[in-house]
């Protein structure tokens, strides 16, 4: 990536690693994530102005636990350790790390011992987010304690000159008061970074990069109707014009009227798009498939077959455009130690051998919020960009059990009612996601004087900043009452509506 200043985030397995990288970018400094055991040459080849070591689930005193290479430790590059990263640095530099009598999880008060450094501009006491059991009992020789938690444990320290700094709490999470200021103090006060990660400049550079990379070839793109593939297509169209041919496959797993609305948007964006109705093929392939990962793989396989047939009709195509994002790469296990594969991503991992196309992934280094901002720069309608995330396999992973056309139609109607009422109450933009799930669970009901035996709809609504963690939304009772009554009265096949009150963790946002 052609930027003047950058920071490398070394991943020790924390659930917050991506969030650290995003917060750095929000401060207009480019960041990349590498595994903690990446070769020092790989880290140094990026000429980072700073290195941030993430948290992680291990104890730094365990055999085989993540540690920083001596070469990086002695490189002169400023280093910031967060949570586990702090304990690891303390241990490697000659301090003492022990298991505390009790853990610190969640909100915690911190008192400043020595103002300045990372805590320049902080009040004497502030609230942070902790998530640890081990603690630094003694800081390394020559280091000074910056702050302590309510229990007296070290909450921050730095070596002389601040080249090595450490925080026991998580500055990247929203629950930490002035967390962004701590990161800014590191980036600009310690590392001397400049704000060079500007997305308007990125668009201009990427348009030129696509033109150079593609040359006179044609590019094809499988549009999903989502934000990522749409922004990738608009960006590429800006670079090569009508040499981009897009294929929008209606897999029969979309929301109510979605195919029509998406095509209307693509027409306004002047994209060259062909729509293919392959719903029968997808639903036939999904007969009898109930296991979530099997659904995803089945849908992916059928999509590849349909797309290959349609793309073969585009003469001169040499490239396949994909809306791959940075989290897709990391979460699929292709980057970062400890990044477990929770769900497979259909747009990561290469192409089948029979598709002799080179892959074009202009958004591969970006996070979701950055893609939305780029979409706005490119003129994608605001309403389209603000749509809630929708899973690649569509309603197949919200229709639990076997996926059949009749059950999908029931789910579509219930979900449409929920979306209408959420919008009517003015809550759509304040929610990260809100949708209905159809359970293959029948219960007895009564409508009028008639006994019913129908399925159950679940309302799933969550609040989140990035989808990595989420809390269930406290929807107004009046709204829940209206949605429940409308679904039961208007959607044949559902006679019971329940509310999901589980956060992430322990649950995922989607049910499958």
pLDDT tens digit sequence for 430-439: 999 999 999 9
The pair of three-digit structure tokens given for residue 402, joined into one six-digit string: 């076997």
Q: Where are the domains of the chain?
A: 6-190, 199-385, 398-499
* Positive or negative: CA dihedral 433, 493, 507, 393: negative
What DSSP string describes 54-123? ---SS-TTSTT-----HHHHTS---EEEETHHHHHHHHHTT-EEEEEEEEEEEEEEEEESS-SGGGTT--
Known binder of ligand: residue 225?
yes
**Tokens 């009452």 sit at which residue?**
481
- In whole angstroms, what separates CA 294 from the centre of its chain? 22
Asked if 193 is an active-site residue, the reply is: no
Known binder of ligand: residue 192?
no
As a whole number of Å, the CA-based R_g of the chain is 25
Strands 125-138 and 50-53: unpaired
Asked if 170 is an active-site residue, the reply is: yes
What DSSP string describes 411-442? HHHHHHHHHHHHHHTT-GGG-SEEEEEEEEEE
- Predicted TM-score (pTM) of the model is 0.81
Known binder of ligand: residue 226?
yes
Q: What class has domain 199-385?
A: alpha beta
* Catalytic-labelled residue, pool 12, 104, 132, 170: 170
Question: Given phi > 0 = left and psi -120 to 50 = alpha, else beta, which region is 392?
Answer: alpha
| Listed range (297-306, 407-416, 478-487) with the worst mean pLDDT | 297-306
| Listed range (326-340, 422-436, 438-452) with the worst mean pLDDT | 326-340
pLDDT at 355 over 50: yes
Kindly state the average pLDDT of the residues 252-278.
95
CATH 3.20.20.105 fits 398-499, yes or no: no
Known binder of ligand: residue 227?
yes
Query: How far apart, in whole angstroms, are the C-alpha atoms of residue 31 and residue 287?
Result: 44
| Listed range (200-209, 264-273, 340-349, 435-444) with the worst mean pLDDT | 340-349
Asked whether the bond before 505 is cis by omega within 30 degrees of 0, the reply is yes
Known binder of ligand: residue 467?
no
Vertex 62 angle, CA 57 and 63, to 5°:
120
Strands 494-499 and 450-463: parallel
From the list 231, 233, 258, the residue with the least C-alpha distance to 376 is 231
Known binder of ligand: residue 224?
yes
Residues in contact with 405: Cβ distance below 8 Å, sequence separation at least 6, in sequence order: 252, 283
**Tokens 């950058």 sit at which residue?**
6
Number of residues in the chain? 512
The most distant pair of C-alpha atoms in the chain lies apart, rounded to whole Å, by 81
Kindly state the average pLDDT of the residues 305-331.
87
Query: How far apart, in whole angstroms, are the C-alpha atoms of residue 188 and residue 123?
Result: 20
Asked if 132 is an active-site residue, the reply is: no
pLDDT at residue 339, rounded to an integer: 37
- Common-topology check for domains 6-190 and 398-499: no
CATH architecture of 6-190: 3-Layer(aba) Sandwich (3.40)
What DSSP string describes 2-16? --S-EEEEEESS-TT
Are the beta carbons of 22 and 469 closer than 8 angstroms?
A: no
* Catalytic-labelled residue, pool 12, 60, 83, 434: 83
* Catalytic-labelled residue, pool 12, 91, 132, 172: 172
pLDDT at 380 over 50: yes
pLDDT tens digit sequence for 79-106: 999 999 999 999 999 999 888 776 677 7
pLDDT at 374 over 60: yes
């Amino acid at each position: 990536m052609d930027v003047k200043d950058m920071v490398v985030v070394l991943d020790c397995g924390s659930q917050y690693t991506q969030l650290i990288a995003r917060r750095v970018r929000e401060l207009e400094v480019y960041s990349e994530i590498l595994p903690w055991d990446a070769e020092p040459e790989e880290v140094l080849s990026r000429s980072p102005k700073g290195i941030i070591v993430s948290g992680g689930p291990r104890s730094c005193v365990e055999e085989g636990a993540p540690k920083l290479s001596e070469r990086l430790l002695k490189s002169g590059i400023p280093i910031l350790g967060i949570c586990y990263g702090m304990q690891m640095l303390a241990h490697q530099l000659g301090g003492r790390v022990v298991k505390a009598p009790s853990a610190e999880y969640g909100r915690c008060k911190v008192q400043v011992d020595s103002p300045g450094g990372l805590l320049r501009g902080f009040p004497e006491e502030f609230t942070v987010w902790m998530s640890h059991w081990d603690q630094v009992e003694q800081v390394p020789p020559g280091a000074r304690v910056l702050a302590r938690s309510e229990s007296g444990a070290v909450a921050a320290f730095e070596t002389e000159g601040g080249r090595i700094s450490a925080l026991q709490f998580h500055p990247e999470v929203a629950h930490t008061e002035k967390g962004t200021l701590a990161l800014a103090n590191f980036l600009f006060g310690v590392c001397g970074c400049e704000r060079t990660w500007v997305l308007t400049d990125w668009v201009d550079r990427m348009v030129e990069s696509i033109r150079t990379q593609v040359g006179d070839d044609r590019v094809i793109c499988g549009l999903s109707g989502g934000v990522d593939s749409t922004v990738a297509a608009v960006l590429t169209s800006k670079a090569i014009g009508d040499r981009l041919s897009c294929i929008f496959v209606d897999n029969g797993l979309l929301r109510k009227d979605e195919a029509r609305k998406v095509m209307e948007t693509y027409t306004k964006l002047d994209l060259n798009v062909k729509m293919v109705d392959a719903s029968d093929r997808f639903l036939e392939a999904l007969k009898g498939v109930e296991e979530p990962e099997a659904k995803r793989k089945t849908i992916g396989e059928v999509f590849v077959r349909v797309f290959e047939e349609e793309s073969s009709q585009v003469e001169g195509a040499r490239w396949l455009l994909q809306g791959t994002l940075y989290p897709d790469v990391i979460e699929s296990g292709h980057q970062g130690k400890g990044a477990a594969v929770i769900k497979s991503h259909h747009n990561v991992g290469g192409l089948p051998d029979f598709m002799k196309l080179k892959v074009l992934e202009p958004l591969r280094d970006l996070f979701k919020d950055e893609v939305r901002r780029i979409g706005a720069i490119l003129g994608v309608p605001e309403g389209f960009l603000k749509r809630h995330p929708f899973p690649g396999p569509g309603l197949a992973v919200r229709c639990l059990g076997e996926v059949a056309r009749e059950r999908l139609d029931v789910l579509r109607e219930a979900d449409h009612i929920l979306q209408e009422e959420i919008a009517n109450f003015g809550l759509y933009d304040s929610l990260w996601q809100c949708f209905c799930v159809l359970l293959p669970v029948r219960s007895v009901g009564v409508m009028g004087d008639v006994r019913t035996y129908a399925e159950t709809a679940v309302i799933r609504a969550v609040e989140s900043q990035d989808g990595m963690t989420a809390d269930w939304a406290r929807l107004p009772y009046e709204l829940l009452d209206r949605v429940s009554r409308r679904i039961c009265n208007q959607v044949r096949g559902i006679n019971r509506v329940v509310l999901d009150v589980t956060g992430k963790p322990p649950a995922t946002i989607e049910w499958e």
